[in-house]
Amino acid sequence: MRALLDYLGQQARTVTVYDYSGTAEQLAELEALLHGYGTHLETADTDGSGPADIAVLHQNGSVLDACAVDSLLARIDFERGFESASQPGSELLAELSGEVRVKPALTITEMVRLSRDFERQALREGAGELHAGFQQLSQIANSDRTVEMYTALAEAGVDASVYGAPDATLEDIPFTVVEDEQGELERHWFLLYDGDGNPDRKAALVSEECPTEDGSLVSTVADATDQTAGDYDSYFTTDPATVDELFELAGDEYELLRLRE
């Protein structure tokens, strides 16, 4: 999973705003908006001889797009959108659509929300393969909602496999349980769904729990719904090509994963 996280990390994009002259409040709003697109915001000051308030979208040193900051700021103001349909769109934001979202240190609540959202997509599709890592199987066994969801997925026709250390038994269930005997996946909460080929439904969440100072994993002792439980490095994406790449990488890295050929 480390390879998947590294790959996703490389997909991260940055918007640098040069010689910003607006308010700090608007900049914070813009940062939040870009964060939702999985894009990091930075500011930079130059010697002031060039144009000011320019936003540049870049990735690994390559410039992908650029625009005046005003057109981005117009996009944070949804109040005006409610009043008039003629507000201009930002082409730079259109460029960001569907890109990888980078969300460091997601809370457990956010990760549950994301997992539920992706599981719902799979359920609606009623087909395809879904692989979900829970770290420990007890995380599933102790949650009626999770058992119910994966049962519903399997019954709807989704080829669902769950992974975790065998610290609990799951019996009489219609989905596939893979026991992670060697602890290969003990730090990873993940969900990979291939959308059964439908690009609108492909989704992936990959995360790694950060050990505490004494090296232990909080998730192994705490209830999964406890929001104070461990911190995660986490990425998610709904970009079809990126999800495909993640399936490839996961297949190369783990024999454990029951990926279809």
- Residue pointed to by tokens 């990979």: 192
Name the residue nearer to another protein (CB basis): 202 or 254. Answer: 202
CB 107 to another protein: min, Å: 9
Residues that bind another protein (CB under 8 A): 32-33, 36-37, 74-85, 87, 89, 93-94, 96-98, 101, 109-110, 112-114, 116-117, 119-121, 123-124, 145, 148-149, 152, 199-200, 227, 238, 240
Name the residue nearer to another protein (CB basis): 4 or 96. Answer: 96
Cα separation, 75 vs 78, whole angstroms:
7
Cα separation, 44 vs 52, whole angstroms:
10
CB 49 to another protein: min, Å: 33
| Chain center to CA of 111 | 9
Beta strands at 203-210 and 188-193: parallel, antiparallel or unpaired: antiparallel
The total of other beta-carbon atoms located within 10 Å of residue 86's CB is 7
Name 198's Cβ contacts closer than 8 Å, sequence gap at least 6: 125, 128
The total of other beta-carbon atoms located within 10 Å of residue 174's CB is 11
